[in-house]
Structures are given as structure tokens and as C-alpha cells.
Amino acid sequence: MENQTQNGGSQKPEKEEGKVLRFLSAIERAGNKLPDPFMLFIYLAIFIAIVSWIMSMLGVSVTTPENEVVEVNNMISEEGLIFALSSMLENFTGFAPLGLVLVMMFGIGLAQHVGFFEVVMRGMVMNIPKSLVTYMIIFTGILGNIASDAAMVIIPPLAAMIYYSIGKHPIAGLLTSFVAVSAGFTANFLIAGTDVLLSGISTEVIQGQYSDARAVSPLDNWYFMAASTIMLVVVVSFVSKKLIEPRLGNYDSSFADKGILNEQIEKLRPEQKRGVRNALIAAGVYIILVSLLIVPSNAILRGEEGTIIPSPFLSNIVPLILVLFIILAVVYGFTAGTLKKISDIPEKMGIAMKEMSGFIVLVFAAAQFIAYFEWTNISTIIAVNGSVALENMNVTGVGAMVGFTFISAIVNLFITSGSALWALLAPVFLPMFYQLGYDPAYTQVAFRMGDSAFNILSPMSPYVVMLLGFMKQYDKRAGLGTLMSLMLPFAVIILIAWIIMFVVWSLLGLQVGPGVDIRL
């Protein structure tokens, strides 16, 4: 084909690309100066201790809406030292997200390591009509986030090969699928590990500050995030077809690595197809059995008054999902041959737990920071004064939430770990918006939009670097400026579309999850 583009298919003027590179370089330099997330929380805990000492010396206090006077507790005192020592283990072991996420990863990690997710993702994007390729790849990418970071490694190369095989620009497929997985990381029709992790942090923060506050469930953002899946398929496909593909033009294969264009998507073997079929049948039987415990008016998993909201079903959703993934993994594994004996099951679960070691270490530091923040009452003082300031500025509605979304998006450029970022922002913003009468699950939605949309722009993300490596395989001229100039339309338009959806959702007063209203 005739080459119609330069520099990896980008028609972006060099001067404009230079601005993009300078901006991203500045972010990278600033981000590189930040410590590792573990050490960041350690430093923040020390900072909170020093600030509590200063504020205590100054006699800082606040009067809550309930007319209760709250003073600062000094961490640098005998009482503070005893609290730090005596609560250290409990802060860690009692940290709500820790057990929830590790339990979920028993099932999700097992399904990943027996190959179930990879085979399903490959099956979804193979043998589909050319007119539906883009939509199916985006949809698969968004749903693929249930397999965590594995989807970022599996789906983009597959999408590039599929695009090339049907005469489309492979880099367009590469970028579109990566955007679906990364920018759509928080959306899904299913309850994923992200829901469990974020809701656990939210519960830890809000109940630590307000003992009578309800726990935030992994289901609490389900309605909004399921609808976001549909919205993202439409928006990402629009940007890809109307902006990115025309801009890339025709593909010049002469700049590709030798052999990359000859690679073929490995077809599913018969045993893999049988494995998926049997796993889905087993999962269907399990879902029917669980439904029998929910649907009848006197069912075991209904509430005391026969309600579903609240009910033991909703409060125990994580164990139910865990069993579902174990069933999928075990049935697929033994059918496809990736599991040979029963002892292989705990072995692969153990591998999944080893991969969670970084998360466990991060949780230890984050748990101490959040505990200190709450014990010193600095969080209460910020929440009350912050909510009063917003009320005085008459910024208490959805506009305040949109502003928080923008803050989340910008900070995400520097701190790419969603769990670390929410552990950092939640202690400040959850109580502040709680004081204004907003449900913590609603505030969590505002964070998730900003955190997800700008994932694809952060030069601090190892997956952005990985994507650039994939690009160079198809066009050795591609550089970071090329990549980011192509990512920018995706990120900006996704964020705008998500905010519009969020505003409309809010004005209509729709629930963000089962039984979860915007207002308390």
C-alpha cells in the first residue's frame, strides 16, 4: 500500500507534537521525583504526625453540624505513640480491601492462570464480521479488565493482527483496543476486582470517620459502570473510526519488523472450545442455583422482610462471585488440560497470590496513613471546613463532583495505581462530600471516571511504554510523541462524554447501584 503518513502514521505537525512531548516530559520528570507508592504513604504518615503536632499546638478545632467540638489529636505525644504502636497490626489486618481483594484473586487469579480468560478473549475477537470488528474488540477490551492487567498484554497485539488481516491499519487496532482496556478499566457489566478494591477503601475511610455510615459494597457502582460500558463502546469506536483511522491513513508495511506481519492468531483448539463450553454450562447451573436462593419471596438470601436491597445476597456478593470464578476455572482447566490434578488448583492460586505481593506491601503503608489521618481528626477538620467553603462558594452540586473528577484525572498522570490514588484522595474527599450529603458510592463514581480516562496518557504507566513497543513493531518510526498525539483525542473525548453522562445521570437522580441514591 502507498504510504500516506509520516512518523508512524501521524499527520500531526512537528511543532504541535513537540508541545505534546514537552508536556509529557514535564509530567514524567515530576512523576519520577515522586517516591514509590509504599514510601509515599510512609512519608505522608510522618507528614500527618508533624501537622497534627503543629495544629495541636495552635489549638485548631472545628464544630461539626451536630454541634460537636472536634480538636486535633497530636500524634507526636505519648498518646499518639501508643496509638501508632498498638494499632499497627490492626490497621493492616483490619484494612477492609485487603481480605476482599485477596479472596477475589483466588478465583480471578485461578481463572487467569488456567488460561480461561485468554481463550475467552481470543474467541470473542476471532471470526467476527468485518463491520463489527471495532465494536467487538472494544467490548472485549472493556470486559477483559476483569482479568486485570493481563488484558492489556493479550488484547492489543490480537487486535493489531485482526486489523491487518482485514485490510485496516494495525496501529489503529492496537491503539483502539488499548484504550478500551485502559481507559475503560473501571467499567464492566460484571463485578470485578476493581469494584471490590475501591469499595473496600471507601468503607475503611467512611466508617473510620463516621461509625454509623453504611459500608460501601462492590455492587454500589454497578448500574453506572454497566451503562458506562455501552457508552465507552460507542465513544471509543467513534473516535477510532472518525479521527484516528483517517489520520493514520493507509498502512505502509515496509517499516514493520520482519515477521510481525506474518504472525497469525492461534486458533482455539478443540479442547479449549470444550473447556469454555463446559465452564459456561457449569456457571449457568451455579447461577440458577443461586437464583433459587434469591428469587422466591421467602428465599434464604433475601433480607428479613423479604427484600433484596438490603439482603444477605448483596452483603455476601464477594464470596458468591469467588465461587463462580472457581467453577469457571476448575471446569475449564480440567477440560482443556491446564489442570491435571486437584493439587494444581491451590498451586495456581498460590501463583496468583505471589503476584499480589506488591499490593499487600502497599496496603500496609496505606492503612497506617489512613488510620493516622482519622485518629488525629485532621480528616474531620478538612471535611467540615472544606464543605463549608464549598457551600460559601455555592459549589455544592454536581459541579463540585465534576471538579473532583478533573482533579482525579490530573493526579492520575503522576500516580497510575488506582488503589494508591484512591487511598490518597478518599480520606480527604469522601468525608467532605459526605458532609454535603452525598453518598460515598457517588463520590467513588466521580473518582473512577477521572482515574480511568487519563490512564492512557500517563508516561508513568509501564503499559504505555509497552504499547509504544508494540507500535514500533508495526512502524519503527513511531515515537512517544506519535503515540500521545493519537491518545490525546481518545482521553479528552472519553472524559467529556463520561462527564456529560455523569451530569445527566445526576440530574435525573438515578441510582448508581442497587439501592444506592446520590444523596444520603
What would you measure as the largest C-alpha separation in the chain, in angstroms?
Answer: 75
Q: Say if residues 331 and 205 touch (Cβ distance below 8 Å).
A: no
The four Cα atoms 92, 95, 99, 101 give a dihedral, to 10 degrees, of: -110
127, three cell numbers: 471470526
The four Cα atoms 406, 408, 409, 413 give a dihedral, to 10 degrees, of: 140
CA 326 to chain centroid: 22
pLDDT-above-90 percentage for the chain: 48
The least confident of 99-108, 120-129, 203-212, 218-227 is 120-129
Task: Decide if pLDDT at 223 tops 80.
Answer: yes
Task: Decide if pLDDT at 332 tops 90.
Answer: yes
Secondary structure of 269-306 in HEC code, one letter for each residue: CHHHHHHHHHHHHHHHHHHHHHHHCCCCCCCCCCCCCC
End-to-end Cα distance, the chain: 60
> Which amino acid is it at 496?
I
CA dist., res. 409 & res. 154, Å (int): 26
Task: Decide if pLDDT at 235 tops 90.
Answer: yes
CA dist., res. 506 & res. 499, Å (int): 10
CA 471 to chain centroid: 24
**Mean pLDDT of all residues in 44-61:** 94
CA 477 to chain centroid: 32
Task: Decide if pLDDT at 377 tops 60.
Answer: yes
Query: What 8-state DSSP symbol labels residue 130?
Result: G
Cα separation values, 97 from 205, 215, 244, 327, Å: 11, 12, 39, 23
What phi, psi does 26 have (nearest 5°)?
A: -65, -40
In residues, how long is the chain? 520
191, three cell numbers: 463485578
Reported as a pLDDT band with limits 50, 70 and 90, residue 25 is low
CA dist., res. 441 & res. 438, Å (int): 8
Q: Which residues pair with 61 in a beta bridge?
A: 71
CA dist., res. 323 & res. 320, Å (int): 5
**Mean pLDDT of all residues in 104-110:** 89
Task: Decide if pLDDT at 32 tops 70.
Answer: no
pLDDT-above-70 percentage for the chain: 94
CA dist., res. 499 & res. 515, Å (int): 22
CA dist., res. 359 & res. 167, Å (int): 42
Task: Decide if pLDDT at 8 tops 80.
Answer: no
Task: Decide if pLDDT at 249 tops 80.
Answer: yes
Q: Say if residues 124 and 140 touch (Cβ distance below 8 Å).
A: yes
Coil, helix or strand at residue 10: strand
Q: How does pLDDT run across 403-428, given as a tens digit for each residue?
A: 999 999 988 888 878 888 999 899 99
**Cis ω before 310 (30° cut-off from 0):** yes
For 136, residues 6+ apart whose C-beta sits below 8 A from its C-beta are: 124, 125, 128
Closest Cα to residue 144, out of 163, 158, 164, 162?
158
CA dist., res. 45 & res. 23, Å (int): 31
Where helices occur in 69-192 by DSSP H, the ranges are 78-93, 96-113, 116-125, 133-143, 150-165, 170-182
342, three cell numbers: 486437584
Reported as a pLDDT band with limits 50, 70 and 90, residue 27 is low
pLDDT of residue 433: 94
For 336, residues 6+ apart whose C-beta sits below 8 A from its C-beta are: 114, 115, 119, 269, 271, 272, 274, 275
Closest Cα to residue 117, out of 265, 264, 328, 282?
328
**Mean pLDDT of all residues in 12-40:** 66
Cα separation values, 80 from 32, 68, 85, 205, 375, Å: 33, 22, 9, 19, 9
**Mean pLDDT of all residues in 98-127:** 87
Task: Decide if pLDDT at 60 tops 80.
Answer: yes
Q: Which residues pair with 70 in a beta bridge?
A: 62
